[in-house]
A = this chain, B = another copy of it.
């Protein structure tokens, strides 16, 4: 059986990763979505085990020690991480796994999974990004200022990704991401091993 694709969607805080990911979930049925662990407090409406696994700092640090995380990072005072076992199991079963994570984490996944598909969700402009961060309404001015500084550093890492999707319209961004996944399944490196059986008289 062919292994699944690991698709990593990342981008600066406030660019709309969560919104795009939620829209994508409504459109696709053949992607498995990884659920991250975090120590940050749930926002209104967020559900443990669905949006995140909400952990205490003690619980999270025990997961780090026991090497149970594919990647983890501390970001604006909180831990975020990806439980490794679930991802690997799904890939081994031939399922495509979708990771929506912070930029620091994506760079760590890249070291462990160089064959993964890295998609950077970019804001149309910095002004638009600041508007979105401020418009969220859950952060004070100091947090917004720090987030914008982090965002600038994160955008500089854009070149490390395979694809860049500008999040100008959510539907367009989703369509582009779905196209990227379909196209990656057609890449020569992935198809040739599959075709060697049916065309084995030739190859």
Contacts and interface: CB of A to CB of B under 8 A. Distances in A.
B188 A159 contact: yes
B126 A158 contact: no
A186 B119 CA distance: 9
A166 B183 contact: no
A201 interface: yes
A25 interface: no
A163 B179 CA distance: 13
28 contacts: A122-B191, A122-B195, A123-B199, A124-B198, A125-B199, A126-B198, A126-B202, A152-B201, A155-B203, A156-B203, A158-B188, A158-B203, A159-B188, A161-B188, A163-B183, A163-B186, A164-B186, A164-B188, A164-B191, A165-B186, A166-B191, A166-B195, A176-B183, A176-B185, A178-B179, A179-B180, A179-B182, A183-B183
Interface string A114-125: 000001101111
Interface string A149-183: 00010011011011111100000000110111011
A123 B203 CA distance: 13
A184 interface: yes
A192 interface: yes
A185 B120 CA distance: 14
Contacts of A176: 182-183, 185-186
A136 interface: no
Contacts of A192: 158-159, 164
A187 interface: yes
